[in-house]
Amino acid sequence: MNYLKEYPIKGKVLEFPVFFPDATRAVIRSIDTHDLRRTGVEGVVVNTYHLMAQPGTTVIEQLGGVKLLMNWDGWVASDSGGFQIMSLIQRNRSIGSITDRGVVFHRGTRKKKKYVFTPEKSIEVQFSLGADILVCLDDFTDPRAKEDEIEISVKRTIEWGKRCKDEFLKQVAQRKLDNASRPILIGVIQGGDNKAMREKCARGLLEIGFDGYGFGGWPLDKDGNLDVEIASFTASLSPENLPRFALGVGSPQNILECFRFGYNIFDCVLPTRDARHRRLYVFSEDPEKVDILSLKRLHSYLYILREKYVRDNSPISEHCDCYTCQNYSRAYLHHLFRIEDSLSWRLATIHNLRMYTRLIEMLRGMIT
């Protein structure tokens, strides 16, 4: 299999594969961008919907974009903002609805002001944030959807994709950008677990033409496992020479699997969220000594709050070169979590992110 090694964006080169942790509100909770850089992370994903609400699009644009706001010189991908609103609506139908025009929802408790989030709006906001990688607003296929519902979601995703592309070209022209200075736009392939629908969606999006294609929808099956069949099938539907974004993927094992299918951009809340929940990632063996990627079990979890770590003077992982493992013991981490000091979050987050970036380094080593 030919793996794509890199892709040029805004005069720089994005190396593949790459993992972007989720800096939802323009912050990776508990660490700053200096810490982040030190873990080897090269980019983050920010959340368009949350940033629209706070501090607001115009504020961010006036401050020079999300990178200057965060003091971050790495990559920034922005999501479409649709997933958050749509999942809120799916949980509580009274707050809004999804129509062909866009996502209609009510904001504010008293006034019940109606707000329409359209594909055009999503792209406009993502330009204001100053992201390098933009994602089309798509109609998320509910994993429980029946065939006719999947069909609607695919049809809408293609139509919205076209509107996103039109707005994208408009913004590029308005901002006087050219091919070398513009961000890239990712189309998202929906269709749930229905192969024919995935194919239809991919065909529609390919006709419009995007810089890369994303694996949309919920990536896990009903048992919480990666839907390997659909993930690999969907990857095969988009060109090998363009970025393939496995949206929301995933655990280290899932990243490894998706990389083998040809995906090269990953983003997930897992390493940072797990760190705050005292779940630390440890490679099963020393990655310097064995081919960790060929092992049946890539890593294990270390639950730092267990009693056995009270007097454990060793680092989280002896095979880890992160700032936390170089300087602090399991016993200290255990203590910090016990007293609920915020330093526990920071040190645990640094460790988990470094585990992910080492995995990425190993995957890059597989590309010849």
Residue 69: closest CA among 49, 53, 46, 40: 46
Nearer to Zn ion, 250 or 315 (CB): 315
Number of residues binding to Zn ion, judged by CB under 5 A: 5
Catalytic annotation present for 79:
yes
Q: Is the Cα dihedral 135, 136, 142, 147 positive or negative?
A: negative
Q: How far apart are CA 59 and CA 125, in angstroms?
A: 12
Instruction: Candidates 275, 325, 333, 363: give the one binding Zn ion (CB under 5 A).
Output: 325
The nearest distance, CB 324 to Zn ion, in angstroms, is 5
The nearest distance, CB 317 to Zn ion, in angstroms, is 5
Cα–chain center distance at 360: 14
The verdict on 134 binding Zn ion (CB under 5 A) reads no
Site for Zn ion in 291-320 (CB under 5 A): 320
Q: Is the Cα dihedral 259, 185, 187, 125 positive or negative?
A: positive
Per the residue annotation, which of 22, 35, 79, 132 is the catalytic one?
Answer: 79
Cα–chain center distance at 26: 13
Q: How far apart are CA 202 and CA 198, in angstroms?
A: 6
Instruction: Candidates 226, 322, 333, 336: give the one binding Zn ion (CB under 5 A).
Output: 322
Per the residue annotation, which of 139, 193, 227, 267 is the catalytic one?
Answer: 267
Residues β-bridged to residue 153: none
The verdict on 51 binding Zn ion (CB under 5 A) reads no
Task: Let me know: does 48 contact 135? Beta carbons within 8 Å.
Answer: no
The nearest distance, CB 326 to Zn ion, in angstroms, is 8
Nearer to Zn ion, 244 or 354 (CB): 354
The interface mask with Zn ion, positions 338-357, x = CB under 5 A, is -------------x------
Residue 157 makes CB contacts below 8 A (sequence gap 6+) with: 136, 138, 139, 188, 189, 190, 201, 204, 205, 216
The nearest distance, CB 361 to Zn ion, in angstroms, is 14
Nearer to Zn ion, 240 or 321 (CB): 321
**Helix H or strand E segment including 19:** strand 18-21
The verdict on 359 binding Zn ion (CB under 5 A) reads no
Helix 147-174 / helix 195-208 crossing angle, nearest 10 deg = 20
Chain position carrying tokens 């979601």: 153
Site for Zn ion in 197-256 (CB under 5 A): none
Nearer to Zn ion, 67 or 346 (CB): 346
The nearest distance, CB 359 to Zn ion, in angstroms, is 13
Nearer to Zn ion, 99 or 314 (CB): 314
**Is the N-terminal amide bond of 40 cis, ω within 30° of 0?**
no
The nearest distance, CB 40 to Zn ion, in angstroms, is 12
Helix 228-236 / helix 252-261 crossing angle, nearest 10 deg = 40
Chain position carrying tokens 């990536």: 219
Nearer to Zn ion, 90 or 300 (CB): 300
Q: Interface with Zn ion by CB under 5 A: which residues?
A: 320, 322, 324-325, 351
| Residues designated catalytic | 79, 267
